[in-house]
Chain A
Amino acid sequence: MTTTDARTSGRKPAQLVDMNWDPITRIIGNLGIYTKIDFANREVVECHSTSSLFRGYSVFMKGKDPRDAGFITSRICGICGDNHTTCSNYAQQMAYGVKPPKLAEHITNLGEAAEYIFDHTIFQDNLVFVDFCEAMVKATNPGVLARAERTDAPRGDVHGYRTIAEIMKAFNPFEGEVYKEALKVSRITREMFCLMEGRHVHPSTLYPGGVGTMPQPSVFTDYLSRLMRVIDFVKKAVAMNDDVFDFFYEALPGYEEVGKRRILLGCWGAFQNPDVVDYRYATMNEWGKAMYVTPGIVVDGKLVTNNLIDINLGLRIMLGSSFYEDWVNEDPFVTHDPLGNPIDMRHPWNQTTVPVPQKRDFEGNYSWVMSPRWYHPDTGEHLALDTGGGPLARLWSTALSGLVDTPYVKATGGGIRITLPKGEKLPETTLEWRIPKWSNTLERDRARPYFIAYAAAMALQFLEEAMGMLQSGDTKVFENFEVPDESIGCGFHEAVRGVLSHHLVIRDKKIANYHPYPPTPWNASPRDIYGTPGPYEDAVMGQPIFEENGPDDFKGVDIMRTVRSFDPCLPCGVHMYMGKGKTLSTVHSPTYGANHG
């Protein structure tokens, strides 16, 4: 699976050293990366990614009122909870057969756009750039820093920094200008989010069937004024990122091999088009393609499909190295989709989570993450798709489909053109993201600020349309619905760091099965039953090491840059299994009428 060619010429005898990072810092502490590094040839020989957190949201969703699903699944994560609420509402709307009013769709889209701007900014500038800042580069590649001091920043007229080293200095944590500015921006963007969805990060105003946000002019003008305050920051961020990443390619020839893997990207689409979406499964292909971030699966640089029905049918949850029992002998919940297509037993609709806790063994089972794969109907492969940290897959899939053509954003086939209006200091700017040659660490990181610009540009369009509706007196934001006795639904959305799907089965007006699949289970998945490594493992395995330190003071910055380029995030597990049938405490706060029936 790894595309990095083995370098045969001039190889020295291997000097293998085990190097482990567990937990990986800057995400909650349950992702571990275990590697074998050949210091003689300066490359990673083997890599295992493991998670120590049981993933069982599906277990306690059973038997609950399906209308609660959005509120419960939001609590899966303290970072992207609103993405889960939104996705859960999409799945519920399909199950209930309800289409929210257009203004409600705009409000949801605006909230999600603010979330993308907020989360990508705080992750890129406050967490990713620690690996690229002056202090880190000085400790790992002093030669590169010396060169950065002599290198002029080509886009200095936009961001105001004269040399690359000055930008790196601004990235220094707690002291650097960019670091501090990003924290301020994340506050403003969170305020934008709260205007639309009530509260960050667990929205209080998103429901299936619509929103509870009061559509009044000040909601939209408050959002707009905040957006215009950060729009110059976005333009500068794109220019700074391009300068730094271009410099890395130049200063460290061969850096494109770091974190490179076969181009296997998945995007489930974001920003529903209110004019087209009706949440019916039968028309999912049409409204999926109308989304303002086009869903798609990109293999070796080519678009395999952008049909959400095909994407849904190809989902497979594989075991192989995970601490779970197989469920193939259980009764299936869904044998056919509403169009009559057969549903595989390994599809999330049919999954049952049966944990089997055990000791970690890298020859056998070693992770609580399962191995989601996408079954390619033409080749029969089970593809270990990654999300490229979110933005890379979103931009790539949208660009290749070429369906998005809006006043501010246009997919051109070879890239995406984003126009941002005049801000406080900088003039109107058109940014162009072009499809890169590789799916590697630097391109994943580079795509992130471009997607911030994308989300900001889409937010401007949603604002204009929403204010137009409001001014014509169309203020309806909620639609009635009945919960059916039996139904199924699926929601496809983009969490900030990539694909997000929720699969729901309702029986007897209660949840019979519910499986959220966030992006990191795709990215952090272990080897599946066929031995295919997950994306982290694949990207790290075989990557060259550019760090100048030896085994004694090795920081592993190249490996960390690769893992962090995927925007790793694993709190969507459940911290609940005590072992030996022991329950630490049970807290139940019943709502009114708890003793009924």
Chain B
Amino acid sequence: MGTIRVGRPEAKPDTPSHVPGLHQGNKGPYQEQTGHHRDGSSDARRSTGIHWKRHDALGESMPNISPG
């Protein structure tokens, strides 16, 4: 840092980096989260746990759009 005089650091700036054993968000939700399908589509379970099957599309050929 050149010649500038600074105080003794009290913070550890890299502490928020990853903690071993903790779920990493960027590892993807597909194994962990229900309602997400591998092909990128999703069903109503993604949005709600309440009567979610009733919120799914009626037919096979219909797109499954999240309720809301």
Show the binding face of A for B, using Cβ within 8 Å: 59-60, 62-65, 67-68, 101, 207-209, 214-219, 325, 352, 354-356, 470-476, 478, 480-483, 509-510, 580-583, 586, 588, 590-594, 596
Check B6 for interface membership: any CB of A closer than 8 A: yes
CB atoms of A591 and B15 under 8 A apart: yes
Residues A65 and B18 in contact in the complex (CB < 8 Å), given A101-B40, A354-B4, A474-B41: yes
> Separation in Å of the B68 CB from the closest CB of chain A?
4
Supply 12 A–B pairs (Cβ within 8 Å), ascending by A: A60-B13, A63-B13, A68-B16, A101-B40, A214-B66, A352-B2, A480-B27, A580-B5, A581-B5, A581-B6, A590-B15, A596-B20
> Separation in Å of the A94 CB from the closest CB of chain B?
15
> Separation in Å of the B18 CB from the closest CB of chain A?
7
A591–B14 CA distance with the chains assembled, in angstroms: 11
Counting chain A CB atoms within 10 Å of each CB, which of B22, B40, B47 scores highest?
B40
B26 contact from A101, A209, A215, A590, Cβ within 8 A: A209
B14 contact from A65, A101, A356, A474, Cβ within 8 A: A65
Residues A476 and B41 in contact in the complex (CB < 8 Å), given A471-B63, A583-B7: yes
Show the binding face of B for A, using Cβ within 8 Å: 1-7, 9-20, 22, 25-29, 40-42, 46-47, 63-68
> Separation in Å of the B7 CB from the closest CB of chain A?
4
Residues A65 and B68 in contact in the complex (CB < 8 Å), given A475-B41, A586-B11: no
A586–B8 CA distance with the chains assembled, in angstroms: 10
B-chain residues with CB within 8 Å of residue A325 when the two chains form the complex = 2-3
A63–B7 CA distance with the chains assembled, in angstroms: 18
A580–B22 CA distance with the chains assembled, in angstroms: 41
Q: Looking at chain B's contact residues, is the secondary structure mostly helix, strand, loop, or mixed?
A: loop
B-chain residues with CB within 8 Å of residue A354 when the two chains form the complex = 1-4
Of chain B, the residue at the smallest CB distance from A577 is B4
Residues A472 and B1 in contact in the complex (CB < 8 Å), given A586-B10, A588-B11, A592-B19: no
B17 contact from A60, A218, A510, Cβ within 8 A: A510
CB atoms of B2 and A473 under 8 A apart: no
B15 contact from A219, A471, A594, Cβ within 8 A: A594
A-chain residues with CB within 8 Å of residue B64 when the two chains form the complex = 473, 475
Counting chain B CB atoms within 10 Å of each CB, which of A207, A356, A470, A480 scores highest?
A480
CB atoms of A473 and B63 under 8 A apart: yes
> Separation in Å of the A546 CB from the closest CB of chain B?
45
Of chain A, the residue at the smallest CB distance from B20 is A596
> Separation in Å of the A330 CB from the closest CB of chain B?
9
CB atoms of A478 and B22 under 8 A apart: no
> Separation in Å of the B63 CB from the closest CB of chain A?
3
Residues A216 and B26 in contact in the complex (CB < 8 Å), given A64-B13, A509-B17: no
B7 contact from A64, A582, A591, Cβ within 8 A: A582
A216–B12 CA distance with the chains assembled, in angstroms: 40
A-chain residues with CB within 8 Å of residue B12 when the two chains form the complex = 588, 590, 594
Residues A216 and B67 in contact in the complex (CB < 8 Å), given A60-B13, A63-B13, A476-B41: yes
By Cβ-Cβ distance, the 8 closest A-B pairs, closest first, are A473-B63, A476-B40, A593-B19, A354-B2, A480-B28, A216-B68, A65-B17, A588-B11
Of chain B, the residue at the smallest CB distance from A579 is B5
A-chain residues with CB within 8 Å of residue B20 when the two chains form the complex = 596
A62 contact from B13, B15, B40, Cβ within 8 A: B13
